[in-house]
Amino acid sequence: MRPCATVAAGVAVTLLTSTWGCAEQVQPQVTPSRADPTPDPAEGRGGDRPPASPVAPARRAPSAPAAEAPLRATLPSGRSVSIAAVGTTADGLLDVPDDIRVAGWWRGGSRLGDPFGSVLVAAHVDSTTQGLGPFAELLTATAGARIRVQSRTLSRTYVMRSRRLVPQGDLADEAWIFDVSGEARLTLVTCAPPYDAARGGYQNLAVVTALPVDPP
Residue bearing the bigger pLDDT, 33 or 169: 169
Question: Once rounded to an integer, what is the mean pLDDT over residues 133-142?
Answer: 95
Report pLDDT digits (tens) over 78-123: 999 999 999 877 766 678 899 999 999 999 999 999 999 999 999 9
C-alpha 56/C-alpha 13 separation (Å) is 6
Structural domains present in the chain: 1-52+67-216 (2.40.260.10)
Within 10 A of 170 (CB to CB), how many other CB atoms are there?
A: 13
Quick one: pLDDT at residue 65?
Answer: 66
> What is the overall mean pLDDT for the chain?
75
Tell me which amino acid residue 147 is: I
Residue bearing the bigger pLDDT, 63 or 137: 137
Kindly tell me if the per-residue pLDDT of 211 is higher than 50.
Answer: yes
Spatial contact of 138 and 188, defined as CB atoms under 8 Å apart: yes
Quick one: pLDDT at residue 172?
Answer: 61
% residues pLDDT > 70 (the chain): 66
Quick one: pLDDT at residue 155?
Answer: 96
Kindly tell me if the per-residue pLDDT of 179 is higher than 60.
Answer: yes
Kindly tell me if the per-residue pLDDT of 124 is higher than 80.
Answer: yes
Kindly tell me if the per-residue pLDDT of 200 is higher than 90.
Answer: no
C-alpha 192/C-alpha 126 separation (Å) is 11
Spatial contact of 130 and 37, defined as CB atoms under 8 Å apart: yes
Spatial contact of 28 and 57, defined as CB atoms under 8 Å apart: no
Rg (CA), the chain: 16
Report pLDDT digits (tens) over 4-63: 443 332 322 222 334 444 543 323 233 334 444 444 444 444 444 434 444 455 555 555
% residues pLDDT > 90 (the chain): 46
Whole-angstrom CA distances from 190 to 8, 12, 48, 167, 211 are: 17, 23, 23, 12, 18
Quick one: pLDDT at residue 116?
Answer: 95
Residues 6+ away with beta carbon under 8 Å from 176: 118, 182
Residue bearing the bigger pLDDT, 199 or 70: 70
Beta strands in 7-130 (DSSP E): 72-74, 80-86, 102-106, 118-122, 126-127
Tell me which amino acid residue 62 is: P
Quick one: pLDDT at residue 128?
Answer: 78
Quick one: pLDDT at residue 80?
Answer: 97
